Structure formats: C-alpha cells, structure tokens
Structure 1
Amino acid sequence: MRTVRTLATAALAGAALLGLAAPGATADSPTPTADPSASAGPTEAGTTFRTAARFLPGQQASAQAATGDYLYWVFPADTGQRPTVRATVTLPDADLRHGSATWRIDVYDGLRRRQPCMYGTQSRTAAKEAATVELACVLRPVRASADAWSNDPLPGSYYVRLTVTSLPDDDLGQPFDARIGVSTVDKGGAYATDGGLAAPLVPGATTADQAEADADAGRSSAVEAAAPEDGWSSGWWSDRWLWTAAGGVLAALAGVGGYVLTRGAGRPSRVPPAA
C-alpha cells in the first residue's frame, strides 16, 4: 500500500509540473490588444524602408495612396513569436477601373532580407468588379539566433511592403485605401535555440559606445525606440526551461519509485535463529 501511495504521489507531482509547462507550449492564440484605444495605429505609410510608418502588433495601420505607389510599414517581432500580417485594400470604384489588378505584400527583416510566408495569400488578383482584396502572410517563428548563412527570422524590426504588381496602365494613379494589422502567436520553447543576438536587428541601431553615451545623456537608442510594448526579451527565457525542469523531477521520482519497488528483492530475508 505504501508503494502505491508513493507512485501516486510521484504521478501527481509530475502532472502538476507538466501543467505548469503546458501554457507556453499550447499558447497558439494571437496576442490580444490591451484596450480598444490601443488598436489605433498610424494613418499614413512610408514610401521607402527609411520612412516606413511604425506600429505595434495588435494595432491597425491605415493609409490612403495612389495605385502604383509602394507603401511601407514596420513593426517589432521578438524571440519565439510567429507574426501574421494581414492587409485589406479598398479598391477604387469599379466604374473607374479598366480591368483586374494583382496586389501583393512582402515582409522583410531588419537586414532587409525578404522573409518567405509559411502560408497565407501573399498575392491576389482582384476582378474589375471587386470592392476589396485581402492578403495575408504567416511568417516563420522568430529565433533567438541562427547561422550566418541562413535566412531564419531573428528578433528585430520587420517591414511590410504593399503594392500593386499588375494592372491596366489607365488605372495607375487612382486612389485606394489600405489597412495593415499584425497578430503574434507565442511558440515558446518549440523553436528555442541556444545563444542569442547581442542586440535585435534594428536598422540605425547605435554602437555599444554610442548606446552608452545615449544612456548617460538620457536619450533612447534606436533599439529601445523600436522595441515592442513589453521590451525585448533577448531570448534568455522560454518554456523549454519548464519542460527541462519537469523532466528532471520526473526522472528523479522514477528513480525513487524504482528503488521502492525493487528494495530488498535481491537479499534473502533475515530469519531469527532457532532458540
């Protein structure tokens, strides 16, 4: 009976530890917006990487432009996050258009490397009668570090470019409206890597000496200015720590349970000598 109670206690302890680790591994829902007012993003877009309009995940950025323009926005993505970019283009009145048009979004990291989409409709052709066109791009999870030759996404700034790639020449210059939003999913330790970057990939980031000088002068550095709402995590924490600790405790409990089950099996029982 004592052995059964010991094993039951070990099982309950293991289940509790795994329950603590589970939320980080199963959190697969977009990051919620803190409040309705926080959803308001910039109402204009840049026309180059340098002038890209900054917004945060959970916000909605909007812009009005002429068909044929390149529109740029930038948002931060941190270690363990998997961003999903969504764009909605409100097209000019159908009576003013002369044919179908193909729209496209592209996403670039802080090194201006184009990032492929895991899935989603990155490019779509809108018929002449269509009122809107919707685009989406689900990026790969952001890693804390990667090999220099790889194209893996790393923490830092991510640029979204929206433009029309094919349309009748007569439709160039017609006005349109665009809305951009980004949601993130925390993938946790499933994509964790050893090591991390010295600093997130943020264009215009200052050197260590300049960052120290900015801190002494009370100025924010480029990395701080581009940080997410909760700051950069630097990749030091993931729920892999919880799974590792839970595995170690379960292994110890299994050893104790095995000892309890086999204790005394290899030794003859002591029989008191006859009187």
Structure 2
Amino acid sequence: MRTTRLFASAVLTGLALLTATGTAVADTPSPSPGTDSGGGPTEAGTTFRTATAIQQHQRATATASTGDYLYWVFPADAGQRATVKAKITLPETAARHGASTWQIDVYDGLRRRQACMYGNQTRAAASDAASVELSCVLRTVRAWSEPWADDPLPGSYYVRLTVVDLPDADLGLPAHAEIQVDSVDKGGAHDVDGTLAEPLVPGASSVERATDGTGSGKQSTTRISLGSEPDDGWSSGWWTDRWLWTVGGGVLGALAAVFGYSLTRGRGRPSRVPPGV
C-alpha cells in the first residue's frame, strides 16, 4: 500500500508539472495591435531591397500615394506562427471616384510567396469607406525542410502592401498604412529532426547617398541590411518543450515499472505458516 501511495503521488506530481508548464506557455499574453510604446518605423520601402525592417509586436506606419508598393521585413524563427495585420486609412471620400481593392503578400528570405492559412488577405473598400483592414496568418515556421519543399523556414519575411484595383483617377491620392506582425509559439508539436545551418536572411548592400543638398557631388557609402534578426537572436535549435515531455514520460514509465514489479513480487511471495501447525 505504501508503494501504491508513493506511485500515485509521483504520477500526480508529474502531471501537475507538465500541465502547469503548458498552461504557463498558453496563458502568456501577446501584445495587441498598436500597443508598442517604443515607436516603430514611420516609413516603408518601395522594393525588396529597400524594405523597412521591423520587429514582431511593433507597429509600423507609412504615408504614401495610392498605387505605391510598400515593403517591410520582419524576422520569424522556428516554431512561430506569424500573423500579419494591416490597416489602410483611405483618402477623403470626396476625392475618390469609386471602390478600391487592397492586398498584402508575404515572401520568405528567398522571395518565395508564402500562402496564408486564413485571414482577409485581399479586401475591397467601398467608395465611402474610411479604412480597410487586412490580415494573413502564415504557416508555422519549420526548423528544417527538404530543398524542393516550399515550407516556411527561419529567416526574414517580406510584407508587401498595395492596391490591386481602383479607378485610374484615384492613383496618387494620399493614404496612410499601419502594419503589425504578431506570432505565437506552437511548441514541440511542429519540431523536426534537423536545423538550417543559417537562417534565410539576405546580406547587406552598399548604397551611395549625397552628403548634402548643394550639388557638390560629395557622396557617402552606407551599408544597408536587407534582413532582420530577432531582438533575442535566433534559436539555438536544440531546446524544445519536447524535452519536458520526454523526461516526464521517462519518469512516469520508470515509476510504472517499479509499481508493476512490486505487485508481481507481492503476489509471488509464499504465505507464512505459523509454527506448530
């Protein structure tokens, strides 16, 4: 009976630890759109090479002309499922001549277009609408994949925002865009046996810019990074919550073996016969 009680207590303790770990991860609140207090970038790039780098949970804004292509780039690591959200404040109703359709596209570090699992990737705005909101939930990033596969891998991801349909007379009207990328960690359920040698982050390019506006011809070379990296760095690739479940399963298996052995030994032990009987 003592062995049974010890076994039951150990099982309950192990399950409680595993449940508490899972609950702590699931209950971790993620920042809501627009709550970044540090202030994100206030401009966007117009090509892949000039994309503005942003971090996850950071709100970026940009003012541009309707019809422009706007680009941002953000990092996504293994096990993360990213959600891209965009809000476009449309021009004044009196200046518009009809409805418009807006769209966001996401590309990985190799500039492969990534499909959205769900969300409003393309939406139409009525001629009297004040704004339009878009969203795209990406597939979970894998730590490794076959060369021929199109799976999302750790590295930089580009967001492109533009209008895909509107009256020609509305081209060039001012519009204001807001974008934010959030993600959730899906944990060991999406782990694979392998990691990339390096994340898919493009290198850097040299750009010459004039140092003044006097036309003197003086130029300075600036190194511009074409990728981005998480604030806490890329994951090492070896730690995962699978270790918790593996260790917990091993402990429970060992305790079950001890309990089974104690039951078998107790049943096979011969009963004592009182002396003189």
8 Å contact kept, 1:84–1:136? yes
Match of 1:249 among 248, 251, 257: 251
8 Å contact kept, 1:111–1:201? yes
Aligned partners of 2:243, 2:126: CA distance in 1, in Å?
A: 51
Who is 1:238 aligned against?
240
Comparing 5-14 with 174-183, greater Cα deviation is found at 5-14
Which residue identity is paired with 1:76?
A: P
8 Å contact kept, 1:65–1:176? yes
Who is 2:9 aligned against?
9
Who is 2:217 aligned against?
none
- How much does 1:151 deviate? 1.1
- How much does 1:161 deviate? 0.1
Who is 2:163 aligned against?
164
Percentage identity across aligned positions? Answer: 63
Counterparts of 1:1-275 in structure 2, within 5 Å, are: 1-19=1-19, 21-23=21-23, 26=26, 29-30=29-30, 36-38=36-38, 40-204=39-203, 226-271=228-273, 274=276
8 Å contact kept, 2:36–2:57? no
- How much does 1:15 deviate? 1.7
Describe the shift of the 1:205–1:234 C-alpha distance in structure 2 as closer, same or farther (beyond 3 A): farther
8 Å contact kept, 1:29–1:185? no
Higher helix share: 1
Describe the shift of the 1:32–1:179 C-alpha distance in structure 2 as closer, same or farther (beyond 3 A): closer
Aligned partners of 1:255, 1:25: CA distance in 2, in Å?
A: 31
- How much does 1:262 deviate? 2.2
- How much does 1:97 deviate? 0.7
8 Å contact kept, 2:121–2:134? yes
Aligned partners of 1:221, 1:189: CA distance in 2, in Å?
A: 35
User: Where has structure 1 moved over 3 Å in runs of 4 or more?
Assistant: 23-29, 220-223, 270-275
- How much does 1:3 deviate? 3.3
- How much does 1:226 deviate? 2.2
Which residue identity is paired with 2:15?
A: A
- How much does 1:147 deviate? 1.1
Q: Give TM-score scaled by structure 2 length.
A: 0.86
- How much does 1:55 deviate? 0.7
Higher strand share: 2
Aligned partners of 2:193, 2:204: CA distance in 1, in Å?
A: 23
- How much does 1:273 deviate? 6.4
Which residue identity is paired with 1:170?
A: A
- How much does 1:93 deviate? 0.7
Aligned with 2:71: secondary structure? strand
- How much does 1:31 deviate? 5.5
- How much does 1:152 deviate? 1.0
Aligned partners of 2:232, 2:74: CA distance in 1, in Å?
A: 13
8 Å contact kept, 1:47–1:70? yes
Describe the shift of the 1:32–1:134 C-alpha distance in structure 2 as closer, same or farther (beyond 3 A): closer
Which residue identity is paired with 1:171?
A: D
- Encode CA deviations 1:159-201: one digit per residue, 9 max, x unaligned: 0000000111111111100001011111111111111001110
- Encode CA deviations 1:203-245: one digit per residue, 9 max, x unaligned: 1279xxxxxxxxxxxxx9969x721011111322111111111
Provide structure 1 residue ranges, at least 5 long, that are not aligned to the other structure: 207-219
Comparing 143-152 with 7-16, greater Cα deviation is found at 7-16
8 Å contact kept, 1:101–1:125? yes
8 Å contact kept, 1:56–1:75? yes
Which residue identity is paired with 1:6?
A: L
Provide structure 2 residue ranges, at least 5 long, that are not aligned to the other structure: 206-222
- Encode CA deviations 1:49-102: one digit per residue, 9 max, x unaligned: 000000101111111111111000000111111111000000001111111100
Matched residue count: 259
Aligned partners of 2:116, 2:47: CA distance in 1, in Å?
A: 21
Which residue identity is paired with 1:264?
A: G
8 Å contact kept, 1:104–1:122? yes
- How much does 1:274 deviate? 4.4
